[in-house]
Amino acid sequence: MSELGIGTKCVQGGYHPGNGEPRQIPIVQSTTFQYATGAEMGKLFDLESNGYFYTRLQNPTNDYIAARIAGLEGGTAAMLTSSGQAATFYAIFNIASCGDHVISSSAIYGGSYNLFAVTMKRMGIDFTFISPDCTPEELDAAFRPNTKAVFGETIANPALTVLDIEKFARAAHAHGVPLVIDNTFATPVNCRPFEWGADIVTHSTTKYMDGHGAAVGGCIVDSGKFDWTKYPDKFPGLCTPDESYHGVNYTERFGLGGAYITKATAQLMRDFGSIQSPQNAFLLGLGLESLHVRMKRHCENAQAVAEFLNQHDKISWVQYCGLKQDKYYALGQKYLPNGSCGVVSFGVKGGRDAAERFMGKLKIAAIETHVADARTCCLHPASTTHRQMNDAELAAAGVSPDLIRYSCGLEDAADLIADINQALASC
Ligand SMILES: *Cc1c(COP(=O)(O)O)cnc(C)c1O
């Protein structure tokens, strides 16, 4: 059979029940797995045979869902994590440690910025933040001999900049390091970063993938394409024996397709333990079954809302890459030809105060820290998710003080527009 379409992969990928087995993915609600002999279990601990022994490291429910997401992204291996934050942390920490350096787009999620600029910096990893709109020369100049990865978001939350993935991939590969892309907002339905040269993809599955605001979670997917063995000095963790696993060499034992995720599971999950619960993985699987149907509706609603805001005289600016005059329209057409996401950013005339008054008048859209689920919600990042940033950092992240992030759910576009209209009339 030829390659399956993205919709079929959303509905059926990753789990193929045999005769008489459950049609829906079973929740394996068990912390542990039993074996007849200690010797058999010992082989699992040495990574010599495949199997489950403790849910902190791996669980069948999680693996079905991870395989579904790997299929959607076109990757070779994937793992679920307890949150998007854990996915971002593992994705970088799996290949960078104390004394290393990472380049990141400055337009990223506030939580990722804080993780990099504050917490991982305390672990001795240095980050350089660079504008996603930088020239290839500026990007090139940001590399150091100890640079281990480049990071960016397909569509930045909340700035909604569209990353020129090919530009970032070219620079990363010229310097012998992988490009890690957070693909949360686009989802693999609208963009598959591996097709544009990215090497690792991360997700906050909390957003569109779950899609119902029901379960916090994350995922890391490996393309299997980055050849760590060409740079053994840069990536000793993947190319030399791991003494904590009786000398296993991940690239030798698991190949390029499996080394990165096996190492992240065997070392990082073992030691940090940010596993997604099988129950949440099941909920994520339910969400994935309709991801392709929902993304289309999210995008249609966002396009309608953006066009309405764009012609309203109380709105000072609108950012949505589906609008023809948007700075990222061309990049959107290239990387996201079928739609971008359901999130629109805009400013209300009158700045910060007007923004807060407007949000208070909305009846359908709730004020939430959340984005990207079935129910429309909105947020003022400068006073909430990004409040740890000063004005210069906010500007670099593409977040102006009056920015409202409006996440279109799956309601009727006409109702969302009427709600915005009445709130603007009374603010
Ligand atoms: C929400 C989000 C994260 C963090 O995910 P959590 O599941 O909240 O930990 C990371 N990246 C992006 C783009 C996000 O929107």
How do residues 200-217 score in pLDDT, each as one tens digit? 999 999 999 999 999 999
pLDDT digits (tens, 9 = 90+) for 323-368: 999 999 999 999 999 999 999 999 999 887 888 899 999 999 999 8
The pLDDT value recorded for residue 401 is 81
What residue type is assigned to position 95 of the chain?
I
Is residue 181 lining ligand 1, measured as CB closer than 6 Å?
no
Assess contact for 6 and 188: CB atoms under 8 A. Answer: yes
Residue 53, judged by CB atoms within 10 A of its CB (0-12, 13-18, 19+), counts as: middle
| Residue-averaged pLDDT of the chain | 95
Structure tokens at 369: 């820290």
State the Cα torsion 373-377-380-383 to the nearest 10°. Answer: -80
The pLDDT value recorded for residue 50 is 85
The pLDDT value recorded for residue 1 is 61
Is residue 63 lining ligand 1, measured as CB closer than 6 Å?
no
Q: What integer is the mean pLDDT of 364-385?
A: 90
pLDDT digits (tens, 9 = 90+) for 206-264: 999 999 999 999 999 999 999 999 999 999 999 999 988 889 999 999 999 999 999 99
Q: What confidence tier does 159 reach under pLDDT thresholds 50, 70, 90?
A: confident
Is residue 407 lining ligand 1, measured as CB closer than 6 Å?
no
The pLDDT value recorded for residue 356 is 85
Q: For atom 7 of ligand 1, which residue has the closest CA?
A: 84
Q: Name the residue with higher pLDDT: 189 or 2.
A: 189
The pLDDT value recorded for residue 352 is 79
Question: 160 vs 185, 370, 406, CA distance in Å?
Answer: 9, 15, 11
Residue 299 pLDDT greater than 90, yes or no = yes
Question: Has this prediction a pTM greater than 0.75?
Answer: yes
What is the Cα Rg of the chain in Å?
22
The pLDDT value recorded for residue 381 is 82
Q: What integer is the mean pLDDT of 116-120?
A: 98
Is residue 109 lining ligand 1, measured as CB closer than 6 Å?
yes
Q: What confidence tier does 28 reach under pLDDT thresholds 50, 70, 90?
A: very high
Is residue 184 lining ligand 1, measured as CB closer than 6 Å?
yes
Q: Name the residue with higher pLDDT: 182 or 51.
A: 182
The pLDDT value recorded for residue 351 is 80
Is residue 85 lining ligand 1, measured as CB closer than 6 Å?
yes
Q: What confidence tier does 389 reach under pLDDT thresholds 50, 70, 90?
A: confident
Assess contact for 112 and 86: CB atoms under 8 A. Answer: no
What is the widest separation between alpha-carbon atoms in the chain? 74
Q: What confidence tier does 293 reach under pLDDT thresholds 50, 70, 90?
A: very high
Residue 163 pLDDT greater than 80, yes or no = yes
pLDDT digits (tens, 9 = 90+) for 140-151: 999 999 999 999
The pLDDT value recorded for residue 16 is 96
State in Å: Cα 159 to ligand 1 middle: 14
Task: Show the CA angle centred on residue 69, arms to residues 64 and 73, nearest 5°.
Answer: 145
Q: What confidence tier does 94 reach under pLDDT thresholds 50, 70, 90?
A: very high
The pLDDT value recorded for residue 138 is 98
Assess contact for 385 and 321: CB atoms under 8 A. Answer: no
Residue 399 pLDDT greater than 80, yes or no = no
Q: What confidence tier does 426 reach under pLDDT thresholds 50, 70, 90?
A: confident
Round to whole Å and give the CA distance between 347 and 355: 7
Is residue 207 lining ligand 1, measured as CB closer than 6 Å?
yes
Atom in ligand 1 nearest the alpha carbon of residue 217: 7
Residue 397 pLDDT greater than 80, yes or no = no
